[in-house]
Structure 1
Amino acid sequence: MAPLRAQQLSLTESQWRRTVLLALPLAALAFILGMLLDGPSGQSTPFDQLMYPAMTVGILLLEVLLWRLPAVTNLLLSTLVISMSFFFLGKLIYILDLMPGTFSVQAEMTETLFWVPVLYVLSFFVPDMRLARPIAALFFSSVLLVSVLYVLQHGMNRPFAGVVFALAELNLANLTLLSLANTFLSFKDRLVRSEAQAETLQQLAYSDLLIRN
């Protein structure tokens, strides 16, 4: 029974690997579109000019490594989660505290933070992503801390109310995703344990039947 479970797990990991291989080019395309359209939109910041090309190259490199080195799939996906966490958090800190006032904070938030749910999906839904899960939780805590510090610094004054509203929505969405992901993971773990117990009982019953015969 144990080899069968291992085979099933290997099949699941292979399916996830193929899915990620198909999804990574879409993420790279998003950054490429950012490089092409950020300038004409009037929202091209120094952070974007530096990080969009870097993230494009990094994602394409991970795509190649994931294709050529299936044995280290979880390590590569954990690297992706860590990289994206730093990127999202760095982007948020930049647009809140370092970006020139001529740019729209809310517009900048819509450029990349729509991709945050992918981080939670990779961390909690892909099997054996034990390293990525605490990173995702730390990312949530960091975003919440940055948001709270911004609110404490600027308050609810009219010029900042829109940004505070956007931050509140971002953190509530993150909290919902994190809670749902944790619930799903707990349910999956209970299901796996139940299946293992059922297989063990079935094996014992079969062995007992053979002994009696």
Structure 2
Amino acid sequence: MSATKGWRCRIVVQGSPEDEEMIGSPASEGQTVFYTRNFPIVDALGNVTDSEEEVVVKKNGVALATTDYTLEGAVGRITLASPASEGDVLTCSYSYRHTLAYGRSGEVTLEGGLEPLHVLDQRTPKEILEGAVVIRGTLERYFVSRDFIGKLGSLKDEQADFFIYLYPQGEEPGKPYFRVSGVKFSAHSLSIPDPDEVVTEKLEWMGTSIEPGVVS
């Protein structure tokens, strides 16, 4: 066995938001361009796609035909064939997968919530009781695009669930990984430094479970 150096580590975030209100919605009169809050958009195999068949776009709750818009999956851009009207609400259902670009660090914390039970005349615990489990962490990177803040959604409705995959030794077959499920993002911060330093941003998240695995 040997120690692991961080440069091999990969962090992958993926999810499938449903009926998520897009950036640019509600629309202005004549508006045609809207953006998903996360990108790139991927197909069932995890490949970046421009196929309109891979997304469902709705206007005021009614699904549009795939001929009514075009998709640029790499940046999550939806362009309507016919302009929207003032106040139209545009939503999109899609799948997203992103290997963290320019990542600086990531942290996963698992708190078991154990509580020691003490009795009189005994210094050591009589029993250790299980409490509430908390799974949380942070992701930090150099700022490169708007998709980090998009993880918080529109802050109007229930947030979408994501998965975080951590590959401490890279993604080669036989290497270990961890999958955090039910992830929702609770906070985003953008650090504006002195001119000689690099702009960074950080996400805080919570999850419902964590499981180890081996890359096949």
Q: Which has the higher contact order (CA 8 A, sep 6+)?
A: 2
> Does the TM-score normalized on the shorter chain lie above 0.5?
no
Interval containing the TM-score (normalised by the shorter chain):
under 0.3
TM-score, L = length of structure 1: 0.24
Bigger fraction of residues in strand: 2
